[in-house]
């Protein structure tokens, strides 16, 4: 599980262009894609795994 969290965090960092300001949003998008198989659309309100999101966000912040 730790390896997949690091992989998702790295993807979120790359997607945000190393911007800490965009990190929360991109982590949410990456976790959404991981769970549902697609990036969210403008009106997509499907739930994500909150614990996974927080772990990915924490890991990404440590990596930047």
Query: Which value, to the nearest 10 degrees, does the dihedral of the CA atoms of residues 47, 22, 42, 2 take?
Result: -30
Quickly tell me which residue has 């945000």 as its tokens.
16
Q: Which pLDDT score, from 0 to 100, does residue 44 have?
A: 83
- Between CA 35 and CA 29, with CA 10 as vertex, the angle to 5 degrees is 35
Contact 39, 15 (CB under 8 A): no
Task: Provide the residue ranges of all domains of the chain, joining segments of one domain with +.
Answer: 2-63
Write the pLDDT tens digit of every residue in 3-48: 999 999 999 999 999 888 999 999 999 999 999 999 998 888 889 9
Q: Which pLDDT score, from 0 to 100, does residue 42 have?
A: 84
Q: Which pLDDT score, from 0 to 100, does residue 40 have?
A: 92
* Cα–Cα distance, 63 to 6 (Å, whole number): 9
């Amino acid at each position: 599980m730790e390896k997949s969290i690091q992989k998702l965090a790295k993807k979120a960092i790359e997607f945000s262009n190393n911007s800490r300001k965009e990190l929360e949003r991109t982590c949410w998008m990456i976790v959404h894609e991981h769970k549902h198989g697609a990036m969210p659309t403008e009106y997509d309100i499907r739930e994500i795994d909150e614990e996974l999101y927080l772990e990915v966000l924490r890991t990404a912040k440590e990596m930047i």
